[in-house]
Structure 1
């Protein structure tokens, strides 16, 4: 299994400003540590050896914390010269990788999926790009994802209330070569400009993991993280 990942941590975090002012989301305090601390320790536990942080807003705070903290794995940094979108941030970080295969992780999400099992699923499906999906009940904040035979993703549905469904868990597995082959613009959305168009290929696969998931992008879930991640 690859031991490298890109962590997307360049967003502005505007919805979290009411409780966490002047910090990038990954630096939002959870107990005695920033959220990023828990994410890096999760990744180390899962076998990651090298994380590339794709940074933008308040990047100096993240870099300073990393340089003054004993980290469980090697960390590199790329800083966007301007906001590049989730997709542009990924592409800008690719040259910092040592290898080709890479996990991509949302820096404001903690999803306790088993990455070795996810990798085995990805290899077995021979997919160029796979997503980790979280089953969820009674939600309207997220769009839902439909699966067909053999866990092929058949549709991304817009946000609406669902009694039960699958959501994008914010963990992806692909290769730098595959992403470079798509001829993408400098600034783009990974979700809208890569994931959704790839549905038509029939080669986009979803790995379902019903494990702990929290997205700290809104104050309510940020408060929930305070109770769980410290335990």
Structure 2
């Protein structure tokens, strides 16, 4: 029987010195091995993502850490494609931030929504510095029940590592989370650390970086969940 090959796009500007960039291909390969499928990974540099870039061939997308990206609009274009075309999507750290920014602009309708790292004086900076920078930090995250992320981990409380300085601006959180984008994970202080879309087969974003576990020989549950969602779309 022919083995399924899944085609995954990594949205972000590859840098071999970034730990997450080292970890993500390893995480996906470990997940593929556990599921008995093949995975083909392709990096999509953000400044290569134009209005004419063909994205239909990808079964799933992972928007990766290490922003600001070279081209914010390019990253948002690929995220929007995954959201609108209902392709499985995972965003971690910078991917979380840009998934929220894309949603704010194109779903909530805030054309002036900005990322505070790029436009700190913007009136509608939906992404702003965290009150406590989560760089090389580990914390407990409590997951909301009956969510895709909770299903992936099979547990209500998890321990995850961070390398992140920006998150959702609390001033805009209630409006952003008033529709299909829902809060699915909070840290030990009660701060938002994960979101997902209700009206999508798999659209999950986390401020933590689950991929890092792969460098310690652990297969990240969210990498398995992403590939399972891709499999389900092909079934």
Same fold by TM-score greater than 0.5: no
TM-score, normalised to structure 1's length?
0.32
TM-score, normalised to structure 2's length?
0.32
